[in-house]
Each structure stands twice: as C-alpha cells, then as structure tokens.
C-alpha cells in the first residue's frame, strides 16, 4: 500500500464530511484512511462510522482524548502504507495529491513538502483564499536542504505537518513520534524530522486548504502559554542551526518579531474589552525576553510598530492591528 492517511477527529461534525469527501474523491485508490475519533462529544464519530461502513479503505477508531499528538501516534501504530500523510479534520484537499506524487515517492525519499492555501471562512462559506507557495522546488539531499533551510523556514512552510508526506520506515527507524504538548506538536515533530532527513522533495503545487477562523480551533482562541511555547520552539530551531554551523542571529530576530506580532494580532482579534486587550499586550511585551528584544534587537520590526512598542502605546497598536484586520477581509 502506498499511502496511509491519518485523521484525528474531535468535535468537527460540521467539517468532517467535507474533509473525508475531499480524500475519497482523489483519483487514487492505493491508500488507507485511518480516522481516530478522539473522544468527540458531538456526532463526528457516528459520521465517520457511516463512511467506514460505505468504504472498505476507511477504518475508524474511537479512543479517549489524550490530545491530538496521542491520536496521531495511535494512527501511526495502525498504518500499513509506505508513506504517511496527516490531515486536520476541519481542513480539506484539492487537486490530485496522491496520484501526482505516486511516481515521485521513491524508496529513499524521506519527506515531501508542498504548497497550500489559507482559506478564511465563516460558517463553511469561504470569504477569501490566499496561496502559500514554497520558494524552492525539486529534490535536495541533506547538504542542499541545510543550505536553503533558513529561507524555507522563513517562508512559513516548515511548521505544519499537513503539507508534508513522510516515509513510514524513516519515521520508525528514527523513532519519530509526537510528544504531548498543549501547543506546537507539529513544529517539534518536524524539527526532529529535519534533523534526521537525508532526502527531500519540494513542490510548489498546492493541494491543501487550511481553514482559518473556525470557532473552537486551537489556533483561533487566546492561550497565554502560546508565547512561551513559541519561544521554546525558536530556541530549538536556533540549536538546530548551530549544530549545522549556520549563522542564526538575523534569523532569530526575524522570527522573534513575527512571534511578537502574531501574539498581538491574536489578542486583538479576541472578543475582549479594550482594557483587557491592553493588559494582555502589556504582559506580552513586558516578558523579559520580549522586552529585551524590543529595546535592543527589534530591527526586524516595522519602524512604526517599534516606536509604538518602545513608547508603550498599546492602545494605538491594538487599533492599528484592528484596522489591518478589517482591510485584509475587504
């Protein structure tokens, strides 16, 4: 069997039908679909069971909820395919992913990375779609991958798992699995993959639609631990670059500026009072590592943003981000 498609499911009754249909409709049959109902309390599990009764290549497992990482590991333990592909149950596929890559997935290829779409939705209605495209394409060995790693990482294409196909034996040989974290399992798993990978293929074609804006998703809400996890992940990337003898000073500052602004953006879009938002932004900016960054290393920030941060003009900053959010959706 060529592919094992692993889908953790938790309370996505509005989305799982679209997700499964997008996989079933692919023009490729040599695959199995492993669905892990991760303790759903809505009708997600029964919807998946209906699909399994109709399609022989779909298997559904109902387990207790120990987090998405545990569900993915469970799926890996059941997988028989030569290559592994993970899908988030509120997203979906476009194009012919499995057929297009079938001939490219040779036995010594460890990893495939491809481009994808960001879709802004409200109640399953797409409001806008943007494409995230890889800056490189083709096959790379370890040395070639290391040379382009920083540019790849800064393109935001290396964080997630759903725009990647992994060789199963590569994962097993290197004992690669998901550790249980509240946030950031994808990044940490992939960093372990990048450390071990020897041959990689990059495609600029897009096959995945990442849905932004779903209420209840881990990425849409505010989590005060998000900043802490992101800074830990940045340190892990910095260590990897150091092991590869790559200069990471400019890279670290660039990513740190993105982390700071993504957290401010996340706070701004929450349904909170302005005073509460100001307090959260203030707490974020006064964290020691971020405060030092704003004072000393913030050249990667927009000059206006840097001025507002240094002057602690958080209210102005929040309203500025709010205006940017409105303009993005026009």
CB 28 within 8 A of CB 102: yes
Pairwise CA distance, residues 232 & 239, whole Å: 11
Pairwise CA distance, residues 159 & 162, whole Å: 9
- Plot region of 39 (φ>0 → left; ψ -120 to 50 → alpha; else → beta): left
Return the structure tokens found at 25. 């409709």
Give the H/E segment covering residue 26.
Answer: none
CB 10 within 8 A of CB 44: yes
Q: Each residue of 53-83: pLDDT tens digit?
A: 999 999 999 999 999 999 999 999 999 999 9
pLDDT of the residue at 218: 57
Please give the backbone phi and psi of residue 194, each rounded to the nearest 5 degrees, phi first: -65, -35
- Plot region of 163 (φ>0 → left; ψ -120 to 50 → alpha; else → beta): alpha
Give the H/E segment covering residue 119.
Answer: strand 111-122
* Chain centre distance of CA 81: 23
Q: What is the DSSP string of 236-298?
A: HHHHHHHHTT---HHHHHHHHHHHHHHHHHHHHTSS--HHHHHHHHHHHHTSHHHHHHHHHSG
Q: Each residue of 20-38: pLDDT tens digit?
A: 999 999 999 999 999 999 9
Residues of the chain with pLDDT under 70: 214-221, 326-330
pLDDT of the residue at 10: 97
Q: Each residue of 101-111: pLDDT tens digit?
A: 999 999 999 99
**184-210 CB burial, b ≥16 within 10 A, e <16:** bbbbbbbbbbbeebebbbbbeebbbbb
pLDDT of the residue at 321: 83
Name the DSSP class of 300: G
pLDDT of the residue at 329: 59
pLDDT of the residue at 219: 58
Spatial CA neighbour of 62 closest among 85, 78, 86? 78
CB 22 within 8 A of CB 95: no
The 10 Å Cβ neighbour count of residue 273 is 9
Domain with CATH 3.90.550.10 in the chain: 3-212
pLDDT of the residue at 149: 97
Name the DSSP class of 63: E
Helix axes 16-24, 44-54, angle to 10 degrees: 20
Pairwise CA distance, residues 294 & 310, whole Å: 7
CB 152 within 8 A of CB 103: no
Name the superfamily (CATH) of residues 3-212: Spore Coat Polysaccharide Biosynthesis Protein SpsA; Chain A (3.90.550.10)
Spatial CA neighbour of 3 closest among 112, 89, 91? 112
Return the structure tokens found at 105. 């997935």
């Amino acid at each position: 069997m060529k592919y094992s498609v692993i889908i953790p499911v938790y309370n996505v009754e509005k989305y799982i039908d679209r997700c499964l249909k997008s996989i079933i409709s692919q023009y490729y049959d040599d695959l199995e679909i492993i669905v892990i109902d991760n303790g759903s309390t809505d009708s997600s599990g029964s919807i998946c069971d209906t699909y399994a009764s109709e399609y022989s290549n779909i298997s559904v497992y109902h387990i207790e909820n120990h987090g998405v990482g545990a569900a993915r590991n469970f799926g890996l333990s059941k997988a028989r395919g030569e290559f592994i592909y993970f899908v988030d149950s509120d997203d979906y596929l476009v194009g012919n992913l499995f057929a297009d890559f079938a001939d490219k997935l040779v036995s010594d290829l460890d990893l495939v990375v491809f481009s994808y779409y960001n879709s802004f939705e409200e109640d399953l209605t797409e409001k806008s779609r943007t494409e995230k495209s890889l800056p490189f394409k083709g096959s790379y060995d370890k040395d070639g991958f290391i040379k382009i790693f920083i540019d790849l990482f800064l393109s935001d294409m290396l964080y997630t798992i759903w725009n990647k196909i992994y060789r199963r034996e590569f994962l097993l040989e290197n004992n690669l699995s998901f550790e249980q974290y509240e946030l950031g399992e994808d990044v940490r798993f992939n960093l372990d993959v990048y450390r071990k990978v020897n041959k990689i293929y990059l495609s600029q074609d897009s096959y995945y639609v990442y849905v932004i804006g779903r209420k209840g998703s881990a990425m849409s809400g505010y989590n005060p631990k998000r900043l802490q996890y992101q800074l830990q992940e940045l340190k892990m990337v910095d260590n990897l670059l150091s092991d590869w003898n790559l200069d990471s000073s400019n890279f670290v500052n660039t990513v740190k500026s993105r982390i700071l602004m993504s957290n401010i953006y996340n706070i701004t879009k929450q349904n909170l009072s302005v005073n509460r938002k100001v307090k959260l932004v203030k707490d974020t900016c006064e964290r020691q590592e971020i405060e030092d960054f704003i004072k000393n290393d913030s050249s990667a920030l927009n000059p206006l943003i840097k001025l507002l941060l240094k002057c602690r003009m958080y209210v102005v900053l929040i309203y500025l981000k709010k205006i940017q959010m409105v303009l993005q959706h026009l």
